[in-house]
């Protein structure tokens, strides 16, 4: 079989390579991939940011996917051939302190699908039974491919934020996680605004508007005036920074009200700012990373109920055969959530 792999430590460098069809171990299932999404970390691998230096190339990438079980190992009991599944792609070791206390998302020795071992941009993948999550019949298979990023938004909003009905919420960054976070915050009763910068005006801010949100283009609009208009001059109750940009946290501090909350979801790297204003305003700074079993359950329910509008959110214009076009469009802000029909590549 073939898989779309990162083949060298340079920008781009994505090629189809030959792989043997894997055989499941006793505790694994063999999954045939139907659909797979493209996310910010995949784009980071494409550009080969420093966070991915640990990768042993070539590696087939992709960790957001939906597939079907086609074979099971001898000790697998929870899944059977034909079951529709998604994967929780951060695999905790099960033995460290964080895993023991139920925080496997921050496991000290976690491995990540599509980074530390071959991922979903190929026909078949073997997955430990403990990392698989069942998909209910009521959720379309293409929509199930975005359960993993939805679970990240679910954790950020439901587990780690204090968004309540009537709260005024700002989501910084109209990328995939931002759009999902906005929808989930709205489902929690928040009045949500989504902000972005110049390049977002072409596709991502209009997408947020299609999803029902007011938007602010901080490169063109008077942000302070819009904030004051929307919040009676008080500031937003909760601000989610999903930008992954050094400007995200400082701008969140300017946007949030005194006594409000900032939830950091995007991975910025490095930023510089004064922290005294946070202390003097008693601003709650909360981080949110990845997701757990319960977050996947919530994600599936949010998709099933329509609170997360996958039909509008998903962009199915791209093929794995034209992956460079998809990646460059994603990086340039010309798309938000490409989902590849992986099965068409092997048809």
Say how far apart CA 71 and CA 213 lie, in whole Å.
43
pLDDT at 347: 61
Task: Count the helices and strands in the chain (H runs, E runs).
Answer: 13, 17
CA distance 263 to 163: 11
The pLDDT assigned to 8 comes to 96
The DSSP element (H or E) to which 111 belongs, if any, is: strand 111-112
CA distance 209 to 252: 21
Query: Quick one: pLDDT at residue 95?
Result: 93
Mean pLDDT of the chain: 95
Question: How confident is the model over 217-271, as pLDDT tens digits?
Answer: 999 999 999 999 999 999 999 999 999 888 889 999 999 999 999 999 998 778 8
> Phi, psi at residue 217, to the nearest 5°?
-95, 100
Question: Which DSSP letter does residue 157 get?
Answer: I
pLDDT of the chain along its 347 residues, tens only?
A: 999 999 999 999 999 999 999 999 999 999 999 999 999 999 999 999 888 999 999 999 999 999 999 999 999 999 999 999 999 999 999 999 999 999 999 999 999 999 999 999 999 999 999 999 999 999 999 999 999 999 999 999 999 999 999 999 999 999 999 999 999 999 999 999 999 998 999 999 999 999 999 999 999 999 999 999 999 999 999 999 999 888 889 999 999 999 999 999 998 778 888 888 899 999 999 999 999 999 999 999 999 999 999 999 999 999 999 999 999 999 999 999 999 999 888 76
Question: What is this structure's pTM?
Answer: 0.96
Which pLDDT belongs to residue 105? 94
Residues 25-57 have pLDDT tens digits of: 999 999 999 999 999 999 999 999 888 999 999
Token code pair at residue 57: 């190339």
pLDDT at 47: 94
Smallest Cα–Cα separation from 91: which of 123, 145, 132, 61? 132
The owner of tokens 């009905």 is: 165
SS3 state of residue 194 = strand
Q: Tokens representing 135?
A: 């998909």
Torsion of CA 121, 123, 20, 75, to 10 degrees: 110
């Amino acid at each position: 079989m073939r898989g779309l792999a990162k083949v060298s430590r340079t920008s781009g460098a994505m090629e189809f390579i030959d792989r043997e069809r894997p055989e499941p171990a006793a505790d694994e299932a063999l999954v045939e991939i139907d659909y797979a999404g493209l996310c910010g970390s995949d784009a980071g691998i494409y550009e080969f940011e420093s966070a991915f230096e640990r990768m042993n190339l070539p590696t087939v990438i992709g960790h957001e996917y939906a597939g079907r079980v086609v074979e099971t190992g001898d000790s697998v009991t929870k899944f059977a051939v034909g079951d529709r599944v998604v994967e929780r792609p951060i695999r905790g070791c099960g033995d460290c302190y964080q895993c023991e206390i139920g925080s496997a998302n921050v496991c000290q020795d976690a491995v990540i699908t599509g980074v530390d071992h071959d991922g979903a941009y190929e026909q078949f993948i073997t997955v430990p039974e403990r990392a698989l999550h069942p998909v209910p019949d009521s959720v379309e298979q293409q929509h199930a491919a975005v359960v993993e990023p939805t679970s990240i938004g679910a954790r950020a909003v439901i587990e780690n934020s204090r968004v309540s009905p009537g709260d005024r919420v700002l989501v910084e960054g109209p990328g995939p996680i931002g759009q999902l976070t906005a929808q989930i915050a709205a489902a929690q009763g928040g009045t949500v605004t989504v902000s972005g910068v110049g390049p977002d005006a072409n596709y991502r801010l209009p997408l947020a508007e299609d999803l029902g949100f007011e938007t602010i283009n901080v490169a063109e609009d008077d942000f302070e005036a819009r904030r004051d208009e929307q919040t009676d001059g008080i500031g937003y109750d909760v601000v989610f920074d999903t930008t992954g940009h050094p400007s995200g946290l400082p701008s969140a501090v300017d946007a949030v009200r005194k006594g409000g909350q900032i939830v950091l979801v995007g991975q910025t790297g490095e930023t510089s700012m004064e922290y005294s204003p946070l202390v003097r305003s008693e601003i709650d700074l909360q981080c949110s990373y990845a997701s757990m079993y319960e977050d996947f359950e919530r994600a599936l329910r949010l998709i099933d109920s329509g609170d997360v509008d996958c039909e509008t959110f998903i962009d199915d214009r791209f093929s794995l055969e034209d992956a460079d076009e998809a990646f460059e469009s994603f990086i340039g802000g010309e798309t938000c959530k490409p989902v590849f029909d992986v099965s068409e590549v092997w048809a």
